[in-house]
Amino acid sequence: MASLGRPSNNPTSSSPNPIWTSSIMQISLQEIAANAIQARRRIRHHIYKTPLIPARRIGHDQDAKVLFKAENFQLTGSFKIRGALSKLSSPSAQGPLITASSGNHGIGASFAARVLAKNLTVVLPETVVQTKLENIKSFGVDVILHGAETGLAERHAQQLASSGSYTYISPYNDAEVIAGQGTIGLEILEQLDEIDNIFISMGGGGLLSGVGSVLKSFSPKTKIYGVSASNSKALAASLMAGHVVETDHFPTLAEAVAGGIDQNTITLPLANAVVDYVIECNEAEILRFVKALAAQENIIVEGSAALALAGFNKVAEKLTGQTSVILLCGGNVDHDYIPKVVCS
């Protein structure tokens, strides 16, 4: 097993963006990794240690060993509960809180607010999946619907917080949230002797930054693949530009990773430091692997989780004999998702 002692002093690997021009990173990979260990102690009694499941069929044709880190089986149906619990259990989460979400972070934060007795308001886009909306409301938090996509909901939550009535909790641009997501990396290192590659869907970058920081700190040879949806690729485009850029956002099956990123997000320099390769996938590719996971692996996931597998498929022939982890980030689907998407 990989040692979980002191993080490596040289965790970085080749960057996808050699012209990166950001100023000094606001927090180091080693600090995120150390914070992840602390976060795990705070949240471990409230979450599941999710399984690392060997693929039945996927990867066999390429002679590649594939395992699924099944956060779709997490207590709230996605990894987001980890970051939410990490943040809401930290000293900085005081007073009435407000956050924004496409759905899964809202579920995780609402769960955390209930178990930690916090006052929380969740701002969601008007396009939120109905099942996710109902789940969030079931925890008794206040809900506001605003905007056609998650980035607009985030800006509205930030504006409300600027009045001084709330403390804003970012779904990704927060060191404690990122550290919480990093606990997935700690689990993987305990579950697997060696990991050559990991494929992680890219949204705001909290999951990528957290898991990537842990793996690059304790297993620096592991290659990190960030996978972006073509229809909403703010982080991928920003990595290529070397700074935050605005992109158009179109409807995507990977709605859980859709939306823009903050101008000052700490996830951009962190992602730049940990990501070895960025892969972009279109809607047809995402749909193909939603169906492949159901048909070949008996696993129902969101499009955002299938996105990571679609990215793996694009480079699978180059990974012969290697061990690759596909991070299935969520499985919260609407009532008609199976007949309309999986079985269409």
Model confidence pLDDT, tens digit, residues 227-262: 999 999 999 999 999 999 999 999 999 999 998 899
Domains 29-78+175-342 and 80-169 share a fold: yes
Question: In sequence order, which residues have a C-beta less than 8 Å from that of residue 246 and are 6 or more positions away?
Answer: 234, 260
In the predicted model, what is the mean pLDDT of residues 90-114?
Answer: 96
Mean pLDDT of the chain: 92
- Mean pLDDT across the stretch 50-58? 97
Q: What is the mean pLDDT of residues 47-57?
A: 98
**Whether residue 22 has pLDDT greater than 60:** no
Phi-psi group of 228: left, alpha or beta (phi > 0 → left; psi -120 to 50 → alpha; rest → beta): beta
Q: Say how far apart CA 259 and CA 31 lie, in whole Å.
A: 27
Please state the domain extents for the chain: 29-78+175-342, 80-169
Query: Rounded CA gap, 56 and 296, in Å?
Result: 7
Degrees to nearest 5, angle at CA 9 with 7 and 13: 100
In the DSSP assignment, the letter for residue 78 is: B
pLDDT higher than threshold 50 for residue 10: no
Q: Give the mean pLDDT of 41-67.
A: 96
80-169 has which CATH code? 3.40.50.1100
pTM for this prediction: 0.91
User: Does the pLDDT at position 18 exceed 90?
Assistant: no
The 3-state secondary structure of 287-335, one letter per residue: HHHHHHHHHHHCCCCCHHHHHHHHHHHHHHHHCCCCEEEEEECECCCCC
8-state DSSP, 193: S
- Asked whether 297 and 306 are in contact (CB, 8 A), the reply is no
- Return the CATH number of 29-78+175-342, one of 3.40.50.1100, 3.90.226.10, 3.30.379.10, 3.40.190.10: 3.40.50.1100
Res 200 pLDDT > 80: yes
Q: Alpha-carbon distance 35 to 202, whole Å? A: 21
Cβ(82)–Cβ(183) below 8 Å: yes
How confident is residue 23, by pLDDT bands cut at 50, 70 and 90?
very low
Helix (H) or strand (E) holding 182: helix 175-191
Q: What is the structure's pLDDT at 25?
A: 52
